[in-house]
Chain A
Amino acid sequence: MGYAFSSGYGILLLAFGVLPTLYAIFLAFTKNGSFVGLDNFSKVFGDYRFFPAVQHVALYLVVYLVCLILFVVLLALIVHAVRSRWLSTSVRFLYYIPGALAGASSVLLWLFLLDPTVSPVAFVLRGMGLDSFVQTVSIDNLPVIFTIIAFWTGAGGWIVIMYGALNNISEEVMEAARIDGAGPIGTAWYIQIPMLRKWISYMGIMALAAGTQLFVEPRVLSQASKGVVPPDYSLNQLAYLYAFSQKDFNGSAAISLILLVVAVGLAAFFVFRGGLFERE
């Protein structure tokens, strides 16, 4: 009976989870249908665009992860400490709402915000010596810009998750800490943050996995800035160029496979070691 109920999902899992992976593996190790070993990989590694793309993504990830973890935990603690239920709910909702603009729309909105001629925060941009859109999106600023965009759309969801996890800490533990003389900062540092550890690592791993896949932000910015943001800034963009400009599906599959291995590795590590999904 279990098979009957799960067959539809099973078919989709095979068709859009397992099969594409197998097909990517097949393409990555062949050329025109015949086995070529690691040729596709060495071609990709030898591509002058490959290592800059790795660097770009790595730099972005460092900036993004540090900001995400720091500010999400901080804001969750603050929101959790707000005693007025109404205020706390409204603030969480307002933090969360940019999540509705995920994808191309948020990038488009940030195009406006980053352009000093129309931006409502033009004075901030000019204050930093950025007088034109092209200057703002210069390649050195991109890790910070992508961090701001990703944080803007995604942080609210995580703040809400952390808030939920903070609610699960028993009131007795918090009370005991208070009786021992711990102030809000002491309680946060010695009780709340250690108890959030699992959720923080979950967030870190999810953000890391998603961040390596960077595509829509540089893609739209590249389109908007007429190439000031290069079309091969991130690894996924490079894989896209391989498939669509060079019609080299094998090379594209090789890059996709590298990214996929990273993502599956992180996910598997978390499922088996993270303890968040322990059940049986």
Chain B
Amino acid sequence: MSANSLTATRPAKRAPAAAPAPSVTGFAPGRWVKRALAFVVAGFFLIFFVLPIAWLLLAPTKTSRQLLLDPPFSFGSLQALGDNFTQLAQFQNGIIWVWLGNSALYTVSALVLTLVVSIPAGYALAMTDFKLRRTLLITTLVVMLIPNTALVLPIFLELSAVKLIGSPLAVILPFSFFPFGVYLTYIYFSTSISRDLLDAARIDGAGELRVFWQVAMPLATPVIALVGFFNLVGNWNNYFLPFVTEPGRKSPVQVGLAELLSNVPLFNPTSAGSVTIGLPVLALATIVSVAPVLIIFLFSQRFLVTGMTAGGTKG
């Protein structure tokens, strides 16, 4: 399988031959046992993956008391949902909005910067020749496979040496370094656009910038969407890097969420005295913190499940 496997794994058309193979021997108990077993396994994991989310969506509709006593999958009341929302919104004078705003600022700025640097870089790797090209490509591959958590503390040490800790740049810049996006763009350009096409434009007198901007870019929309998706989703959910580089009110919502946790008396009895947070409010905060990503997922449903995109979720 060649390098384009990541992008080339969209489902092949199933040949009609794959349709129901008639059972040759008539009644075959072994076959049914196997089939039932497969069904049970798939069903068990379906419950495993879905049940927690279903529970999470229902939890904020209950009061703390209902959460403990009512059946776990019952709907509480809209009233309780409203109360929980008010509590969350007022916690520390609405810090949840500050955190969400931070998350939006960090991820959207990083998204723009990522696209501005990654798409041309992938294009250059695929479509032009230069001396350092191979070095750059191999370095990109290796760095892409390193879990991003591995570089968090070294990056923190570096940023604190240049006194950037606490500045929005301390997450935006590292977030914009996205070797996987460069790799995806590189694969896309080298498999779906021929150099001849670009040469034709050059012969027509277009300069290099125009070739890139007017010939290559319009053809690159799918990969731009793909890179944007992975970058945004990954950065929104990133915890470790902002946890160390953006303390206090500068935190994005994922870090803030863990902060909220310290104010839940059930999990952390020492927090008594300060304003406390009920479990349903914490559940609501969890939903709010992932809502943007969840919405993006729902809208990207079709292209998520084909297999051509999922290479971005590493680990």
Known: A102-B237, A171-B12, A175-B17. 11 other contacts (CB 8 A): A5-B123, A6-B136, A15-B173, A21-B151, A96-B305, A104-B255, A113-B52, A213-B150, A216-B239, A267-B142, A278-B3
- Chain B residues whose CB sits within 8 angstroms of the CB of A168 once the complex forms: 1, 5, 8-9, 12
| Residues 1-33 of chain A, each 1 if its beta carbon lies under 8 Å from chain B, else 0 | 111111011101101111111011001000000
- CB–CB A78/B120 < 8 A: no
Stretch at the interface among A43-51, A52-60, A86-94, A139-147: A86-94
Pairwise interchain contact A167-B154, C-beta atoms closer than 8 A? no
Q: Which of A12, A93, A105 contacts B290 (CB 8 A)?
A: A105
Interface of chain B residues 61 through 104 with chain A (CB within 8 A): 67-68, 72-73
A35 on the B face (CB < 8 A): no
Tally the A-B contacts, defined by beta carbons under 8 Å.
345
Asked if A174 is at the interface (CB within 8 A of a chain B CB), the reply is yes
Can you give 17 A-B contacts (C-beta < 8 A)? A3-B124, A6-B125, A8-B116, A12-B117, A12-B177, A24-B157, A83-B18, A101-B237, A101-B290, A105-B286, A111-B267, A112-B279, A206-B315, A243-B157, A271-B141, A271-B145, A280-B134
Interface size on A, residues (CB 8 A): 123
The one of B15, B49, B269 in contact with A95, judged by C-beta atoms closer than 8 angstroms, is: B49
> A263 — which chain B residues lie within 8 A by C-beta?
145-147, 150
B67 and A118 within 8 A (CB)? yes
Which residues from chain B contact A109 at a C-beta distance below 8 Å?
52, 56, 286
Give chain A residues whose Cβ lies under 8 Å from the Cβ of B301: 93
A135 to chain B, nearest CB (A): 14
B223 at interface by CB-CB < 8 Å: no
With contacts A20-B151, A120-B73, A210-B314 taken as known, whether A163 is within 8 angstroms of B304 at the C-beta atoms is no
What is the distance, in angstroms, from B74's C-beta to the closest C-beta of chain A? 10
User: Does A136 lie at the interface of the complex (its beta carbon under 8 Å from any beta carbon of B)?
Assistant: no
